[in-house]
Structure 1
Amino acid sequence: MTNTTALWLFDLDNTLHDASHAIFPAIHDNMNAFMARTLGRDGVNADAATVDATRETYWRRYGATLLGLVKHHQVRPEDFLREAHHFDDLLSMIRAERGLINLLKRLPGRKILLTNAPHRYSSDVMRHLRLQRHFGKHISIESMHVHRQLRPKPSRHMLRQLIARERVAAGRCILVEDTIATLKAAKWVGMRTAWVTQYLGDNRDVIKRPGYVDVKVKSVRKLARNLHRLR
């Protein structure tokens, strides 16, 4: 039987908190160091230009750098995720606006955290923000497999599988996300979409709302007043 209750799918980084402040720069550096070792030869690390070009190529081709590293360099996902998300003091790096708990209470329906981040990191962030109890499920990148293949966001196959597993009509799902590619994939499978722009940088206010975005909000705290546009 199909569940008719609304299902909210929330991204984590740059949606529920400001990852661009300190966390993303640290991940960027960690990722570059890992890739330099992986792409290097004869014990010599690859240079920065090679790393940047490879990361950009894999991001464009596969939607996630990790998928390219797995496919072409036999990297184990758990090794990459552990290295990329290593922080000396994660809690001091977290920045988030107030009022998130009240916002979640005001949104009718079930809520799932859907993040391309690893489980340990995302759990630590959610506990620090005191949000974990407001989500019925926590789906991290380790759980995003389709036919035994890793398929993180923006995979349409993964999103369709999620809809089927939750026994909910696509039109009853609302994806809240900062990444355009994932919003586009969600709309393609029939979901409603909310684009959070607060942490996108200086040009966030001039970016036009694409047709596959139902609601564009600066902050997730603005979602409640836009419920009529997400039904």
Structure 2
Amino acid sequence: MDPRLAHIRTWIFDLDNTLYPSSARLFDQIDARMTGYIADKFQVDLVEARRIQKGYFHAHGTTLAGLMAEHDVDPHAFLDHVHDIEMDVLEENAPLAAAIAKLPGRKLVFTNADVPYASKVLAKLGLGESFEAIHDVHAMDLIPKPQASAYAGLCAAFDLDPATCLFAEDMARNLAPAKAIGMTTLWVDNGSEQTPGGDDRSFIDFTCADITAWLHDHTGDS
């Protein structure tokens, strides 16, 4: 074990573009369905729908949060629609499952998606039994990362000491609130979409391009 990780008792992982590579382009399907949803709802073309979508994403943390705040969209209907996608681009990742299994302590998924979708992704990756729980957007009272309440709620729900937690996430901005409460942070920098103006990386402790390789390299599992 890397001595810088010896204090970690809880390993927290984002889901999309973190536990699978962004090159799988699974989230592209969700992104397209969000654009289509907005186009239908507001009767605009796809270019305008995408502009609206990304505006909400940048301003509110997720497209859904913006739609709820400004248009009172039903979150269950929206999530059911955008998560109705094919999972065939994902493959079982036995090395990742083995690396997670060998981590000392607790393992959790912390995602702005919902449990039904997250469970399908984990099953496809061969990670269905790898985690104690999934803390999803409903558990956050629909106030997603990077809002501070999402992180406080996670810690309260599982009685976590942030100082003994590591959080791995592909969206760099979502690591800042974790670092602010004392978590060790791992940025999975694998080419997924980032928000503009995010040049400050002072809140990132570790960076990797591939979570499987990083775990094998840093946790003594060679």
TM-score bracket, normalised by the shorter chain, equals 0.7 to 0.9
CA displacement at 1:168 relative to structure 2: 2.2
Question: Is this contact kept in 2: 1:209–1:216, CA < 8 A?
Answer: no
Select 1:139's aligned residue among 135, 138, 145.
Answer: 135
1:169 has 2:161 as partner:
yes
- Partner Cα distance (2:103, 2:19) in 1: 14
Cα distance change on mapping 1:208 and 1:35 into 2, 3 Å? closer
- Partner Cα distance (1:128, 1:195) in 2: 23
- Partner Cα distance (2:167, 2:157) in 1: 16
CA displacement at 1:18 relative to structure 2: 2.7
2:138 alignment partner, SS class: helix
**Number of corresponding residues:** 209
What is the TM-score of this pair, normalised by structure 2?
0.85
1:46 has 2:74 as partner:
no
Q: Which AA in structure 1 matches 2:44? A: A
1:143 alignment partner, SS class: coil
- Partner Cα distance (1:63, 1:200) in 2: 15
CA displacement at 1:214 relative to structure 2: 0.6
Uncovered stretches (5+) of structure 2, i.e. residues with no partner = 1-6
Alignment-derived partner of residue 42 in structure 1 = none
Question: Is this contact kept in 1: 2:9–2:165, CA < 8 A?
Answer: yes
Uncovered stretches (5+) of structure 1, i.e. residues with no partner = 40-44, 202-206
Aligned-residue CA RMSD (Å): 2.4
1:191 has 2:183 as partner:
yes
2:166 alignment partner, SS class: strand
- Partner Cα distance (2:96, 2:190) in 1: 14
Alignment-derived partner of residue 111 in structure 2 = 115
1:24 has 2:20 as partner:
no
- Partner Cα distance (2:205, 2:161) in 1: 17
- Partner Cα distance (1:80, 1:125) in 2: 18
Question: Is this contact kept in 2: 1:38–1:73, CA < 8 A?
Answer: no
Select 1:37's aligned residue among 26, 37, 40.
Answer: 40
What is the TM-score of this pair, normalised by structure 1?
0.82
Percent of residue pairs identical:
29
- Partner Cα distance (1:22, 1:154) in 2: 22
- Partner Cα distance (2:219, 2:199) in 1: 20
Deviations 1:25-65 (A, max 9, x none): 211221111101222xxxxx212332122122212221111
Cα distance change on mapping 1:141 and 1:20 into 2, 3 Å? farther
Alignment-derived partner of residue 204 in structure 1 = none
Q: Which AA in structure 2 matches 1:71? A: A
CA displacement at 1:215 relative to structure 2: 0.6
Question: Is this contact kept in 2: 1:18–1:95, CA < 8 A?
Answer: no
